[in-house]
Chain A
Amino acid sequence: MDKEHLNMRSLDVGKLAALNNYISDLSDPEGSLINILHRAQDLFGYIPINLQLHIARKLKIGAAKVNGVVSFYSYFTQEKTGRHVVSVCMGTACYVKGAEKVLHAMLDELGATKGKATDDGQFTIRDVRCVGACGLAPVVTVGEKVYDNVTVDDVKRILDEYRGEKRGH
């Protein structure tokens, strides 16, 4: 591992300040690691390793513990994400109803690799464990929006909704 990746200068100062404020308002920061990580991911879109190290030092705990938690929960990602994060639920119900085919159709449609941002930085397609909406299986979420009963045929339509925004912002 290249230690240069641990250099904290590359972290966005404004986002870091927001995270630090969030942490300093907590009554039990060390016991709130998961919440802090959620906040960090909301702010930065992902939790790079220098950010993990920053959090560890802020909480005065080992970086291994932070990295252990981040790498355990599938919700957290250490890779830079695209502007739109598409999560395909691979929980049991979604899986048996064809989520894997949907996932592959998503990847094929964008020529993407699972978990990695697309070259244009617009999308990250990832699989997640059960999102708790088994009645709607197979479920796909894009950002906060939930799509139910998704089939391979829906894939292009869903992605197009976001492709349109490409030049918008």
Chain B
Amino acid sequence: MATDSGRAFACFALLCLLVLAAMIAIALGTVAIPPSTIISAIVSFDGSRDHILVTSIRVPRVIAALLAGSALAVSGAIMQAVTNNPLASPGLLGINAGAAFAVVSVMTLFGAGVGDIYVWFAFLGAAIAAIVVYALGSCGAFGRSPLGLVLAGAVVATFLTSLTTAVLIFDQSTLDAVRLWTAGSVTGRTMAQARTVAPYILTGLVAAVLLGRHLTTLTLGADASRALGQNPVVWRGASVAIVILLAGGAVALAGPIGFVGLVAPHIARMCVGIDYRWVLPFSALGGALLVVVADTAGRLVFGSQSFPVGVTIALVGAPFFLYLARTRLREET
């Protein structure tokens, strides 16, 4: 896949695979639905039981999985580029810790029956945590190197996670209400939920793809990027804003799924090289595929509608990732 046409072909193949996986995810389940019914349910909805099943349960769930997967994977790729660190993920910006803390505090204060509102609190918590991390990381003695961002992220995430754990240890009912959410799940997502979050995620995805060229430059390090005429501080700020849109939206929709944001960018880089103009679309497609396949596998294999995708995704993705890391990673660092 050394040439651009090869990469474009691979992208197209991945897209076809994704469409196929989405169709299978909609078709299979407790009741199998033939593809013709799925298409007619979307094109000409007639209110029959199968049509309602498709439009109100299976399609929203698949759309939520697609949105969350692509958003997490792309924001992970951006984080790894900005910090120049293979261990970086959206969680490093405090996104997961902030969202979890916001959701747990809302549930503790107002009880578990607050309904959909916690989606917004998750988004808000994620955004505030990320802004604090960025502000801390860009001031003080570290301001001009990514090390500041990395350490600030570790500090803030640790602080918020400790706070969350302290609440959960003493409050069993909140722990019971929140533990499925913290595993990461797309069970029972409605079209309305997907529609509220979709604009943020789609904006973020478009902006990220437009930014690809600059991300490649950022990975060369602060000195080289400045020598090439780039202002790393500006682009780092823009990248963080995009990550907040993407990962904040994903966490609000599907809870803190950790694995995708960390691993999908690595898989993309091992397949298409280090040029972020290709890494970003590849990560988006790969991440979406990973979440859809993992969610479907969880539904079919474990026979439970509420099996958290956060668990199956590691079971599906980790062996593949380990195989790639052993065989494709040749460059010595």
* Chain B binds chain A: no
Q: Footprint of B on A, CB under 8 Å? A: none
Interface residues of B (CB under 8 A from A): none
